């Protein structure tokens, strides 16, 4: 069953713009869940540009559905993640200068480190591990070899495609990747750059989708419509 997870990072961005205590990501998380979202995603970045450490604790206390902790695989983040005990951890590459996560993990580069340090550190917890990947068969095979629970497919290239051919090609890559993830016994998640216009096409073409993680476009729309109405609009689109 497909589920909507709302990324609430940009509630914190708005709060931090004035250094006030509002809007509060934990309060926004409650509104999203009450509107029907299956869970909440937050990304605690090394530079703490949006979500801060004390938000993490308050989110843990407020969220009743799925809590997805998006983070880099640094020892600092692994420590905070183990203390927080979210349902899911989504590991992403993180660059200091980037505006947002720019692509999936390069599994060939990180494989040995993940195998020897990251997966063993998380192994005794109840936290499921998801890896944020581009739709490359090689990366997916290595995720499977590591024993990942899920792969979150990076949909940014699809979302940013400037013409129909590029969009169609990327949808085909995503569909094949989703099939491979599913056949390998892992859960298929997806996210990045999704909005009310491009989500129907993704859902129509890509099989086995489980958790769809949406942040910037949803929070932006909520400025006009309110969070409750916006979440409900996404849910009704996913249902239909």
Q: Does 214 participate in binding ligand PXP (rule CB under 6 A)? A: yes
Q: Is residue 130 a contact residue for ligand PXP (CB under 6 A)?
A: no
Taking contact as CB under 6 A, which single stretch among the options 50-58, 167-175, 185-193, 202-210 is the one that binds ligand PXP? 185-193
Through-space distance between the first and last CA atoms of the chain, rounded to whole angstroms: 13
Residues 22-81 that bind ligand PXP (CB under 6 A): 43, 70
Whether 70 is catalytic is yes
Alpha-carbon 196 to chain mean position: 17
Active site residue 192: yes
Is 108 one of the binding residues for ligand PXP (CB under 6 A)? no
The answer to whether 198 contacts ligand PXP (rule: CB under 6 A) is no
The beta-carbon contacts of 93-100 under 8 Å, at least 24 apart in sequence, are: 93/132, 94/45, 94/46, 96/46, 96/47, 100/192, 100/216
177 interacts with ligand PXP by CB under 6 A: no
Q: How far is CA 55 from CA 22, 51, 213, in A?
A: 12, 6, 19
Among the listed residues 70, 94, 152, 170, the single catalytic one is 70
- Beta strands, E only, 34-107: 39-43, 66-71, 88-91
Point out the catalytic residue in the list 10, 43, 50, 144.
43
Q: Is 141 one of the catalytic residues?
A: no
Mark out the alpha helices in 133-163 (DSSP H runs): 137-146, 156-160
Among 194, 202, 209, 231, indicate the residue that binds ligand PXP (CB under 6 A). 194
Q: Which residues contact 168 (CB under 8 A, 6 or more apart)?
A: none
Q: Does 101 bind ligand PXP (CB under 6 A)?
A: yes
Question: Which range binds ligand PXP by CB under 6 A, 56-64, 72-80, 118-126, 210-218?
Answer: 210-218
Given a contact cutoff of 8 angstroms between Cβ atoms, the answer to whether 88 and 69 are in contact is yes
Residue 192 interacts with ligand PXP (CB under 6 A)?
Answer: yes
DSSP, res 96 = T
Closer residue to ligand PXP (CB): 70 or 134: 70
Q: How far is the CB of 13 from ligand PXP (least distance, A)?
A: 11
Contact region for ligand PXP (CB under 6 A) — 24-32, 49-57, 192-200, 228-236?
192-200
Report the half-sphere exposure of 149 (CA within 13 A, side-chain side).
16
**Residues near ligand PXP, by CB under 6 A:** 7, 9, 43, 70, 90, 92, 100-101, 132, 152, 191-194, 213-217
Supply the residues annotated as catalytic. Answer: 43, 70, 192
């Amino acid at each position: 069953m497909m589920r909507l997870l709302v990324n609430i990072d940009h509630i914190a961005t708005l709060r931090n713009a004035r250094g006030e205590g509002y809007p509060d990501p934990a309060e926004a998380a409650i509104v999203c869940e009450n509107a029907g979202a299956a869970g909440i995603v937050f990304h605690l970045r090394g530079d703490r540009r949006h979500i801060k450490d004390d938000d993490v604790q308050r989110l843990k206390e407020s969220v009743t559905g799925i809590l997805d902790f998006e983070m880099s695989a640094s020892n600092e983040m692994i420590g905070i993640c183990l203390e927080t005990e979210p349902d899911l951890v989504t590991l992403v590459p993180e660059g200091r200068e980037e505006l947002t996560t720019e692509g999936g993990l390069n599994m060939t580069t990180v494989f040995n480190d993940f195998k020897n340090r990251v997966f063993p550190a998380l192994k005794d917890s109840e936290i499921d591990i998801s890896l944020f990947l581009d739709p490359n068969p090689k990366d997916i095979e290595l995720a499977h070899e590591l024993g990942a629970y899920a792969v979150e497919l990076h949909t940014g290239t699809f979302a940013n495609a400037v013409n129909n051919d590029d969009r169609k090609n990327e949808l085909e890559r995503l569909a094949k990747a989703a099939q491979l993830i599913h056949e390998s016994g892992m859960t298929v998640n997806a996210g990045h750059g999704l909005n009310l216009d491009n989500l129907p096409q993704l859902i129509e073409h890509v099989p086995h989708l489980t958790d769809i993680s949406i942040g910037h476009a949803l929070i932006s729309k909520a400025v006009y419509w309110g969070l409750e109405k916006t979440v409900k609009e996404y849910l009704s689109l996913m249902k239909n």
